Amino acid sequence: MEEHSHSHYHSPEEKKKQLDRLSKAIGHLQHVKKMIEKDEDCADVLIQLSAVNSALRGLGKLIINEHMTHCIAHAIEDGDLEMVEEFQKAVQKFI
């Protein structure tokens, strides 16, 4: 992945929200691993995997929102269309 030439600033509040979502996803994933190790019911494992996916989608939405609000707004002000295009590509991969 390419390095950006602009500086990133993420508010402590937003960073905490993102890290909390990530911790939630990691916790769900660790639970899935234990369930598989214990040969638990496949339907229950799939439900837990659904929770992992949901937590990751939520994290992605938080990151997209913050990036659009701050980084993309600044990039447009600075005329950095390359950064806008890179972000559009990243969003397409996410969705």
In a domain, residue 65? The reply is yes
In a domain, residue 36? The reply is yes
In a domain, residue 61? The reply is yes
In a domain, residue 4? The reply is no
State the pLDDT at residue 7: 59
Domain interval for residue 66: 13-94
How are the residues of the chain apportioned to helix, strand and coil, as percentages rounded to the nearest 5?
Answer: 80, 0, 20
State the pLDDT at residue 2: 46
pLDDT tens across 73-85, in order? 788 888 888 888 8
The pTM of the whole model exceeds 0.95: no
Rounded to a whole number of angstroms, the distance between the first and last alpha carbons of the chain is 18
In a domain, residue 58? The reply is yes
In a domain, residue 74? The reply is yes
Specify whether the CB–CB gap between 91 and 64 falls below 8 A.
yes
Where the chain has pLDDT below 70, the residues are 1-8
In a domain, residue 42? The reply is yes
In a domain, residue 3? The reply is no
Q: What is the total count of domains within the chain? A: 1
CATH code of the domain containing 84: 1.20.58.1000
